[in-house]
Amino acid sequence: MAFQDFTDEFVANFEELRMVYSPEEADTWCERIRANIERATAHRDVFIDAVNTGAAHLPSEQFMPALLTLLERLLPFQERPEGVRSSFECSQDNYKLLCYELFIYTVASFIKAKKFSAARQLIDYRYVAPPTFAHRS
């Protein structure tokens, strides 16, 4: 399925938005986050175009499992990357905002396409993050 290729590429490109906070940059941190989120609008727009197309033209039985898997793959971006020993909580603030935004736009896409049961499935689905998601050493 072409959507699977898209999801792999999207996740790889999403990684490019990773930021690392350091106390030396405290004075410019908010501006860096703002610039990062502005840069991320291209990622958001591509994501939403793909979701809009899938919601409008693909059977839900095929599209929803792949979409739910993609949304689950985005969850770890909200936490410290695996293998990183020290991290400041705010290092993932940009991803937290982006993940919430992508989810809201995704639900809105299904509502716009009048696929209310699929929108409900997105809301009711029990998302499972990888085992390292909440692991803190």
Domain count along the chain: 1
pTM for this predicted structure: 0.81
Residue 120 within any structural domain of the chain: yes
What is the extent of the structural domain holding 10? 2-124
Residue pair 78/95 in contact by the 8 Å Cβ criterion: yes
Residue pair 100/77 in contact by the 8 Å Cβ criterion: no
- Reading the chain (137 residues) residue by residue, the pLDDT tens digits are 688 889 999 998 888 888 777 778 889 888 888 898 898 999 999 999 999 999 999 888 989 999 999 999 988 877 666 665 555 666 677 788 898 999 999 999 999 999 999 999 999 999 887 654 443 43
Alpha-carbon distance 107 to 105, whole Å? 6
| Other Cβ atoms within 10 Å of 69 Cβ, number | 12
Residue 134 within any structural domain of the chain: no
